[in-house]
Amino acid sequence: MTTTPRRTLAIGIAGLGAIFQHEVTRNTTAALSSGAGREVLQHTAHGKLMTALVSGEVGHLAHSLPPAASTALMHSYRVGFTEAFTTILTIAAMVALAGAVFAFAPVRGRDFVSSESAPSAEQPAPAVGAAA
């Protein structure tokens, strides 16, 4: 089975999306586990936090929390989102660089064809204004 460019692109986007979702969840919970975020973790028992992070409903969850916990949650979510976005951009840049290297690697110097041949050392260039 051969993969088409569209299928390869879709697989790449799905992979980056999965990495992004994982990183948002991991980075947000890591940011919450320090300082004022512990109160958020206590108020969001029974998997509400993970469900909100995966579904993108963090704003709705934040409105149901006390003000200090809501602020801590939204700050941690922004930190997690930014770090996750940085991660997938780094991965995408490395894949693009590797693709560029692998695309350029098989090109050889003799594959380049010039439209006009340069005069060789044995054949003198014609003099300007000389009669033919």
* pLDDT tens by residue, 92-108: 999 999 999 998 888 77
Give the whole-angstrom CA distance, residue 7 versus residue 32: 37
Q: Over 90: is that where the pLDDT of 26 sits? A: yes
pLDDT digits (tens, 9 = 90+) for 81-90: 999 999 999 9
For residue 108, give the amino acid letter: R
H-assigned helices in 33-124? 37-43, 48-55, 58-63, 67-104
Pair of tokens at residue 105: 């690697």
Q: Which of 71, 15, 74, 26 is nearest to 50 (CA)?
A: 26
